[in-house]
Structure 1
Amino acid sequence: MKNFWILIITATLLSLPYRSSSSTERFRLLDTGNGLFNNQVRFLTQMEDGKILVCTEGMFNVYNGNSFEPLACDLTYTVPLGMHNLCTSYDGGNGLLWAKDFYRLYLINTRTGRFCHDIKERFEAARLTEAFNDFILDHDRNAWIITESGKLYRYDWKKPAKQVYEPRPEEKSRGIRVKEVMQAGPFHLIFLNTGRMLVWEEKSGHIVGEDSTVATPAPSEYFRTAWLQADKEHLLISVSHTEGYLYLYNIYTREWKEILKGKAINDIKKCKDGCFWLGGNQTLIKLSPRFELLQETHRLELTGNESVTDFIMSVLVDDRQGLWLGLSSSGILRAVPPGKYMEYYINEEVAHEEGRMIRSLCPYDGRHLLVGTMEGIYLFDTARKNYRTFHSGFSHLYCTDIKRDPHGAFWCSTRQGLYKIQGNRVERADPTLLPGLPSETVRFSLPLSDGSILVCMDLKDLYLCRPEKRTALRLNEDFPELNRSRAMSFAIEIKPGQLIIGGQNGLFGYEITRKKLQRLAWIVPWERYSTKYNCAYAEGTSVWIGTQNGLICHDFRTKETLRLSTENGLPNNCIQGIAADAEGKLWVSTSNGIGRINRNADGTFSIARLDGKDGVQYGEMMEQSITAMPDGHVYVGGLNGITDIAPQATDYGHENLRPTLVGLRVMNHPINNEGTFRDRQLLPEGLSYTRHLYLKHNENFIEMKFSALDYDTPQHTHYRYRLEGVDKTWNLTSEPTGICTASYTSLTPGTYTLQVQAAMGSTPWGAAAEWQITVEPPLWKTWWAYAIYLIAALALLYYIIELYIADKRSRMMAEQENLKRQKEQHLDELKFRFFTNISHELRTPLALIITPLELLIRKAGDSALKSELEKILGNARDLLRLVNQLLDFRRLEQKGEQLKLSIVQIKPFIEDNVNHFGPLAHERHIGLSCECAFGQEDLFRLDAEKMTRVLNNLLSNAMKFTPEGGFITVQAGWQESSPAGEGPNGIRITVSDTGIGIPAEDLKNIFVRFYQSEGTQSHPVNTGSGIGLHLVKGYMDLHNGEITVESTPGKGTRFTLLLPAQPPQTAASDSQAAIGSTLPDTEKAPESPVPEGNKVTVLVAEDNEQFRTFMKDLLGQDFTVLTAADGQEGLAMAREYGPDLIISDVMMPHMDGYAFCRAVKDDVQCCHIPFILLTAKNSSESRSGAYEAGADSFIAKPFDIDVLHSRIR
């Protein structure tokens, strides 16, 4: 009977709902220390992008998992409310969120992160003139507006607002007004502040019922409601006035069921599992899906063994079912998922703080741990989370290591010796159990598979003990290399009889049966990182070695060795302990944090980290103080107790994290919620909804921040990102803040795609989020600029092609012109050559005419005949002059004329040339005068021959075109002195006449060859060829002089010659003596008498037979004449006959006169013979050529017979 009642009582107790005064959840506190504007939270809501919107007193904040960003509002764009309303928010659809605090209504566009400026315009269609007292939005997003007079309107945003309720006058006087409107299926429940409820039907548009179940007689200033549609038929309604109640209301039966009493509830939220969270005044309540009380908490436990008690003003269950609480004055609480926050437990049983240091842990049974400390050995209850002394005799021991042997016995290494625990029996291993061990400090011990024990005494003395034989063998004696290590740290048996021993100066392998100790070769390449080995763990064919600088794994089967460090995800490189949990996952403790290593299918490793933010105790973990229990919990000893790690601590269920843009800086300038930058709208939408950034070319420095919005364990979120076109590989990043920052500088114009992925711990990477970044090119790199460049390039190319074609055409035309000119020049050359040759040929016949005529004139006695012969001689000489002029023109055109300067007495030179025309002027009755302003002895350097021709041409022309009775005047004088006063610059000669003149239009062409003025061509005495003035101009140019002409038709013409002073020449270039007149065609030489007696033999070489015969006849009277037809024949005759004189023509076939003369002068037999050259070429060049060939004299054809005779003599 007694047992029956015990069973009944036990069953009754088990059926009662669980209640507690403190929460089973742990919460993470977020307050002003995390960036919250203030700690007075009014409501919480989650926006479309996953961020948390927090309304505090006077400010809105947006939480991104790491920080709070203020959302400032211009109160101009709000709607004032006249009541002290309940702060809450309503989903307005399309990203809009209606929010109200005590006195104002806001409209937030959550997609842009900005307040809507058109909030007041949205109510214009309502046509309400009264001020608003309150605003409510139902599930259908229809607005319910309570005006200042207490009227209630329903507004569908399209039509004018429809009045639903107006308080009666007596209700107004009592202060009764509408407090809340709740949508319940086809009905709306209108609560007054007395608790009386009116039922308004959607279909009829009228109030169809009234309910006073929860009503009170008088209105309450503190009346408030909180409600939630629990299912299709029920509402959970909290009513608070003098006392708080929670009811379950049936929409269709209108029945009320009391759930809670005496609880002031401020907010209600439902979870996906059907449970309900209720936040109230200093209470947190959880109801089951059947509305049973599961939990009631008044003290909210925080991470870090702290708690808080406060009014819960808002409850939020986010899209990952995380629980958030908004507190009245303490900030925000975020529930930590079970097992996600570690707890550590301090040993309060020790007398001193140093005793809290956990030096060793070893599982005692399925629930307890043996704990070695500096102040004894304790038993830790993993269920109750408390310590108790294991044995009263252990309280004084400094325990450094505890190991369990295969038989279930525990070996405790202490500074007071080695102890063995077998069941309830405790004994000291030395000297009773192992008499060979010295009574010294035991550093560690290792029970082996064969029953023996390896014991490290003091720092480095190793003993192999066999308890059954009571012996202890000191290994250091057989292996002195062990003495080189400063201290031994651990020993591990990887196979039966095979040990690995590690210390502060090496890693050794020891085989017990073979008694062989050697340094492990595979560890040598890794000793560059560290030679201090702290711990080890054997796993299958692998062994893990914890060092002072990284974790090393060696596989004995594959002979491969690898190293893991912080670069691979370890929390710290100093490895303190290694253990495996029930699932075989490896755990490592470090100097700062704990890591779990998971071997992936591809052979790689992924590491999950735990640190102080996960509840792990701060400070260093102790060496080899780590162990795992069968239930999956891992326990780690540290400076301040034991850290308990739940199996799900590193199990992250969020495999599809998608990063969200939460921060942006451009050119180091933060972009705020308004999205403006440099007076332009950079972000049309908010950061979370921005998928394309458009930047100018000088805005190519950007920094983007991303958050996966994992609110559970953001510190375990890691990211990788890459910018296509810039990054060749992924950039990995993991920050304790849970925020990823990607920065890029100097982006060239173009469009880039930024990809970002997130993952929790060792879970696979989530889907990549992408953003397009377009850096617009500068003005000179835009597409239309390139189009302009292309057009310009094409135009330039076209222009170049046109230029090329034009150039080719021009070249072709030039070539054609050049070819034409060459042909013309060739023709001219042929003509000139023809004329020259003809002229040369004419001089010989002219010589045969003029010379005989002169002889005939001398012999003629008849004066009439003599007069006729003189006319013939005059015409012959005119013809000779024309021939000479043509030859001069030819030389001038061929640039063959050169100045032969000589010093002349300028006055006689001019007067002689002028006086030469005296007889002709007298004959034609023309006055001729010469006025020279020179002294008789004044000298001037010029080419006398050419200047004679110049004066002759000018005077000849003047004679032609001056009529009888006219005048010709020649004036000459010195040109103005030089600026330095060094003497005259030159001479000026003017030739003036009173002839017919030259038309003005012809003046510019009179010096052009072959040009003749039309006015002179018809003149009866014009027999010119048009080359005379051309020669004059050419000769003046050779002197660097100038010739000008002035003329008036019918009055006369004046030519002015300006001859500059010629620069000084060498003595050889000037005549040795001044001459007063022109040089004649034939060189004058003093006559030397020919001795009489034997006749002088003269050799005449002439190719013209008639002239040769004439010369023979002419000279035959006085000389013996030999004739030759050319130079070769003449040379032969000269050598054969040795004549006294040789007279030779210049132009002859086979050998010309020059060659003939040189040959004679070079011949020893003939070189003494005088040589006279005759030529039809009467020029200075011809004379120079004659003298250079060695001729003794030069005579031009036709010649004066007397001159020839005088030369011969």
Structure 2
Amino acid sequence: MRSGLVSLLYVMFMASCLQAQQVMPRFVRRITPPATINFNTVGVTQDARGNLWFATNEGVVRFDGRQFRVYHDPVLGQGDDYFHVIPSPDGRIWCKLGRGSVLSYVDPHLDRIVRVPDSSRLVRDYLSQWRSNYVFADADAKLWIGLRRRGLVRFDPRTYAVEKVFDKEGEAVRWITQDRQGNIWFTTNDGVYAYHPNSGLLKHYRDELGAPDRRPNNETFALGIHARQDGTVLVGLTNEVDVIHPVTGQITHLALIPTKSYPDQAVHDFYDDPQGNTYFSTYTACYRYTRWGELQQLEFSGIRHPVKCVFPDRNNRLWVSTNEALFEYDLSHIRPVPALNLVDVLINGTQLNVPTDEQQLVRDSLGLPTLTVREGDLITLHVSPYVENITRAFRLRLDGYDRRWNVVEDATNTVAYELPAGSYTLLLNQFNNPAGWEKNPSRLSVVVRPLFWKTGWFRGVVLTIVVSAAIVLLRGWSRRRKLRRELVRREFEAATLRELDELKSRFFTNITHELRTPLTIILNGIDQLSHAPLDEPNQKQLQSVQRSAQQLMRLINETLDIAKLDAGKLDRREHVGEPVDFVQQVVAQFTDLATQRQIDLRWKGDVPADTSVNDEASQRLYGFDDDKLEKITYNLLSNALKFTPAHGQVIVDTRISSDHNLLLRVTDTGIGIPADQLPRIFERFHQIDSSLTRAYSGTGIGLALVKELTDWLGGTVHVESTVGEGSTFTVSVPLTPHTTVARVESIHPLPEPVRQSTERVGTALIVKSLIQANGRPISKPSREKNQPLLLLVEDNEELRSYLSSHLATSYRVMTAENGRLGLEQALADIPDLIISDVMMPELDGYELVERLKADDRTSHIPIVLLTAKSSYESRMKGLGAGADDYMGKPFSVEELNLRISNVLRTRQNWQRRLTTGQAPHDSRPPSDLRLDKEERFLARLRSLILDHLTDEAVDVDWLTTQAGMSRTQLHRKLIALTNQSATHFIHSVRLEKAVTLLQTGELNVAQVAQAVGYSSQSYFSKVFQEQFGYPPMAIKV
């Protein structure tokens, strides 16, 4: 058994032996008035606003549901003792003082108690002499006042008129009421009277009231009286309530059982609820007389003190007042008094607060009380009858534990249990003479919960923890095993990747070495040819070949450097020199290129003084790898010039820090780098794919080589950039102080910064080739009008110059450096054929083809695409966009010339088809849809001319307006489609119509000329002769 002893004190009662059934309304709340209010109530009522009014020993108390307020007599003050509060239809609350010599009311407008003047006849002649017992306000707001020894008077508060209604000396009128017919009923010490105001008749009830065996001294002493909504009248007697049925004259007696403490049970006040039930109380009990005639005894949970008043309000709430508090109950929930009622709980001898509502008991699914305790608790049951001062015999049995009944004859005895875990039922039975033990005992379910370590949930938790731990361990073991397998797999993949990387590095090393051999021969051969006497065209071609070969050699060298870095075989060649001057000499090689591109190139340098060395020249000497520094400077500077537009600025700032680091900062005002691309710009072969950078795209090796060479030298590189404002690259490379360099045996004197050899193409030579390429003027188209006009759209300056120089011998050539300029040039000049690259800035080749083919002004122009993307998908995309031919790079210029000739020849056959309809089948262009589109265009022009055939205003300007083109655009399109000018095309349409009219024979030559828009017959005959070679008269019908 647990060391803490828990004692639960239960007081159990059985059904009352009274005639009335015991019922209990549901508890709502308890309201405790302030300590300043004496709440010893003797009367209660409710006004029209729902406020409750209480007559107490010290004033009238109003309760609005939340707060209390006290009203005192204006003369007596706090010494006023009120017996009754009576509501009036005019809103006043009449108040009767205990002594009965004055009459007052609560004025709703003044919100205070007002006395009827002492000078009034009522007070002077009646109240001051005979005193009042009871005051009642009827439906007309008139007062009926019962006097103590002189009968009944009627008082009109509006006129102060007083009328004597019943006057019988010695008769004390105690209570007054009014029935629904308007009759006034009142009680006296000699029975009950019914007064009929209209007739003035009185009816007396005396001997009929009260059962003879309950009438003290054979007298009928009536107290309270109340007229119910159903027409019956309730009369309160001693230990009895009589129900008078005025229509039948029948009287029903309701007996009330007295107690030893109060042998005489008197009933005074009656109140009706909205359903027509009537409530009244005695000194020891409260009752409800239902509308169907059943008397019920009310029991209240939570009330320990005697009940003073009970009052049902209009909201179906029952208000019960005691000396200590006001209680609210819900009349919509009334049920029989339960068999068991919890009144005390003791835990280790400490009494807990008792629940104020029996429904706070734990209940099972059947709605019965349930007592729940823990295993080891000592349960002590105290059995006592509910009705006071009644001694009975009880017996108890705990099903599931007791085998027989335990009889308890003394109410002070207790029965104790210490039960194991389980569910039990306590049976309680009482002995009634002479019937014996009751057949249906009361029941209480008892649930004893096991100790927590014996409960199923605890075992479940333990099992869950064990299983979870096992699962965690198993998963951990499985995860470690999986990680080991993954580690082995990754190590194998890493080894494989390292092997592949070594193979790739060897391949790059071998291939670059193999490429450098033939390039050496090419560069030397070109160098020898450059000294030979050549005409200007051949000299330009030789320079172009030299520039391309030098750029290819530099790409090969950079690729070889990356391969050496990956293999860890890059040599460090440190030389003694002035690094700031060295960078300045490299920057100087870019001066002409910057000038050519209209870029302001500036250089700034600074070397801090070393106080440990007196020689100024020695202070500037450091050991550094000139080859690596030259490549870093070249790539940063070429990158800055590449991405800086004309009129921009590039600043190269070179400084040596106090800790012997070379700080190289290259700042430009170029297009900038997007923030999301900054982390990747130093990756190999990474290029920013945007419309802003596509015009300057390279191989993606330069910045990667800068980063890796800087890291290899033990330095750092950092970039800052803002789109539209420019970028700043900062490189920090450690230098070897001159004092340390002096002791290094492998140091060699610094050679000239610009070295040209077959092994390394120097910066100066590359920059010189860039200047030559950038400074070459764009090829002008030939002025020979009989040659076809070609538009060459290519973003690569070298290839554009090379192709234009070759094609200019046979065609008139225009050039454009990107797709946007090419589109503008095509719309302006309407060339006979367009040759375009695919990958271009601003507008690529595919989109250029789509736009040109979608425009009526240029839809007829054949287009040949040139691109390094020669895959099947790329070819299909180009041809699908509308291109007439597709050539992959590299290609032969002779093959390009042949393809151009074939396309133009096909176009000429197309012209014959459109003009004569006799073109051979194999001359049809690649797309029938495109041919149909041009046929529809010509048919629309012919239809426009035929619809305005007789209008002499139909000329080239009119047709240009109708076609939505400029004069030049329409002329070039008609020449390309029909080999006819716009004027000739208009004449052709008119003359073809004239031939048709002449063949009908219905019109003569003059009429036909007028019909087809010629006002002059002679001019018509002239142009007809020029068109067909014979006069119009020669046409026979």
Which one has more relative contact order, counting CA pairs under 8 Å at least 6 apart? 2
Greater Rg, structure 1 or structure 2? 1
TM-score (norm 2): 0.31
Give the TM-score of the pair, scaled to structure 1. 0.27
Task: Report which of the two has the higher share of helix.
Answer: 2
